[in-house]
Amino acid sequence: MKSIIALCALVAVVVARPEETYNPNYDSFNAKELVGNIRLLKNYGKCFLDRGPCTPEGSDFKKTIPEALKTSCAKCTPKQRELIRTVVEGFKQKLPEIWADLVKAHDPEGKYKESFDAFLNSK
């Protein structure tokens, strides 16, 4: 009986645990400003591709990209989802060659394309 109570308590703790998300420090990052500045957007793209230096924010974003892609941003807060959609659309529209290079670097076999596209299109 004691083991059943202990098991129920453990299940309750696991179920009640808040879902793990990425660090919300950059939830106020101005993605629209980034996308509106082609030079800055290009520099972030170079950072993400290891072709140029990174800002502290760029370094942090770069660490998150592979997992966010593989999980369709499962650990993202709603604000982070919005920011990612804005930046990805910026790359696709304004710097498609860098977007293509990012896709090749992080999903060369296209394993995550369908699920990531579904994430991008779900608003």
> Residue 109 falls within a domain, yes or no?
yes
Q: 63 lies in a domain?
A: yes
- On the CB side of 73, CA atoms within 13 Å amount to 21
Over 80: is that where the pLDDT of 59 sits?
Answer: yes
Helix, strand and coil content of the chain, in percent to the nearest 5, comes to: 70, 0, 30
Domain assignment present for residue 9? The answer is no
For residue 15, is it within any domain?
A: no
pTM of the model: 0.80
- Whether residue 86 is contained in a domain is answered as yes
Quick check: is 10 in a domain? Answer: no
pLDDT score of 19: 64
Q: Summarize pLDDT for 64-116 with one digit per residue, the tens.
A: 999 999 999 999 999 999 999 999 999 999 999 999 999 999 999 999 999 99
Distance CA 35, CA 46 (A): 14
The amino acid occupying position 58 is G
* pLDDT tops 70 at residue 1: no
Residue 98 domain-assigned? yes
CATH assignment of the domain containing 84: 1.10.2080.10
The range of the structural domain enclosing residue 65 comes to 21-121
The number of distinct structural domains making up the chain is 1
The verdict on residue 68 lying in a domain is yes
